Every structure is written in C-alpha cells, then in structure tokens.
Amino acid sequence: MSFKMFTPFFLGIYIACNTTGYAQISSYKGKVSQQIVMNSSSVIIDKSSGRKLTYATYDQMLKSNPGKYRTQPVFDKYGKPSSFEVIVKKASDVRPDGSVMMNSDLMPEVGETLPPFVMTGLDGIEYNSDKLKGKYVLLCFWVKFEKPLYTLASTKIISSFIEENRKKGVEIVSLGTTLNTEDECREAIPKRNCGFIPVPDSYGFNHRYKIGETPYFILLDRKGVVKAMAPHTEFVATIGELNLK
C-alpha cells in the first residue's frame, strides 16, 4: 500500500510526498510533531471541482504537476482528518521555505455559530457541542502544555475568569486542546486549577477552526454562537471583562 507524507502545522503547512512512508507532521521549525497517515483508502477531493479522486489519480496529478498542488487534511467534528483536499497553490500562500500559512480569514467570527465538535476530556467525559447548548463554552487552543506559553500566570487569568463567573451562578465549560497525549497531560497539568479540562491528542481542532496563534480562546454563548475570541495577550480585555448572565 502507498502512503503520502505531508506536514500541516499551526504556523504553516509544509508538504513533502513519499510513496513508501508515513505522514510526518511537524512545525517547519521542527519544534512540534504530529503524525497523520494518508493512503489509498483515504477520501481525496479536488477542491476546485469538488470531484472525488482515486488515490491513483491524485498520485498522477502530483507527478505530472510537481509543485503545483498542496494537500490539506480536512478535520471533522472529532478533530480527526476524515478527508483530504487537493488545492492549487497560490504564490501568496507559499513562503520561500515551502511552508504554507494558515488562512486566518477562515477562522470563525463573532456572531457565527461554531461548527460542531465532540471532544473527550482528560476526565473521560465526552463534550458534544450540540449537547452543551444552554451553557457557555470556553475553548482554549494550545500546542503543548509546556513553557514558555503554559505557565501559572498564563492559566491564572483563565481559572480566575471561570471562578468569578461560577460565583455569580454562571457555568462555563472550559476545554483545552493540545498535541499532548493522555499521559503527557497528566504529567503536565498540576493539581492546581488550570482553568480548563485538557483534551488529549486534540490538536486537529486547531486545524478545524483555522487557529493560527496559540494560546487562543473562543467563547461560545448558550446557543453555541461565538461571543468573543482573542489571543492570550488580549484575553482579559476581550473576554475576561465580559458580564455574562
């Protein structure tokens, strides 16, 4: 069976093809890695036409037009790559080193209903966005729970926001995505309240929602509509000061 190797990452997508290996996904700076396998049974779509491609046709497209296309995984509501899109590269999308920047214009916007998700937390509970209607939901998008981004100070503003609203009788379900495995989460998350429930092996949600900066936060209202969103540096001013009822 043949495989393709490609590398999506929150800073960009660097693509390399190899018909004999696995898909190795990493930052183009080499700091973070993730693995996805694309093979002959994968669902492959030509984005320009919407046509489903066989693996053989896809393979021939790449061989006949080297450098013309990039392959982009499509992440479903479980944060898993359920299919792949073949997209014609644009000069504006590609950096000199070959990485492709994630298009932040495709991120959710305030006032829009967030596409559904189903996350399984470190607590073993399944969090289904459809079943969370009626509650506020804070999604915290991370890469890994490690310094310099993951610190006591960086999580304190989150836990304080959750606790202050709890005292007012406002429940907020707070979930944190990460590349970390379950074991790594248990080791990284201290006994103190970090302000969110870690969701192991969930970095696919960062791709699903086109999150290009981390930590990043999206607050959903009781109807599942995006109420506010902000990078960590703007959390207090954009989200923390909201008067939730």
pLDDT in tens, 127-153: 999 999 999 999 999 999 988 888 888
Q: Name beta bridge partners: 175.
A: 139, 197
Domain edge (last residue) among 76, 102, 128: 102
Report the alpha-carbon distance of residue 20 to residue 90 in Å, rounded: 28
Q: Domain for residue 235, yes or no?
A: yes
Q: What pLDDT score does 14 carry?
A: 33
Choosing from 86, 102, 118, the residue where a domain stops is 102
Residue 107, helix vs strand vs coil: coil
Among 102, 125, 145, the domain-final residue is 102
Q: Are residues 91 and 122 in the same domain?
A: no
Collapse the DSSP code of 141 into the 3-class scheme (helix H, G, I; strand E, B; otherwise coil) and give the result: strand
CA distance 86 to 59: 11
Which tens digits make up the pLDDT trace of 17-70? 333 333 333 332 334 556 677 878 889 999 889 999 998 998 888 888 887 888
> What rounded mean pLDDT belongs to the chain?
82
**Structural domain of 222:** 106-240
Length of the chain: 245
Question: How many structural domains compose the chain?
Answer: 2
Sheet order of strands, 226-231 included: 197-199, 172-177, 136-141, 216-220, 226-231
Q: Are residue 110 and residue 89 in the same domain, yes or no?
A: no
CB 208 within 8 A of CB 79: yes
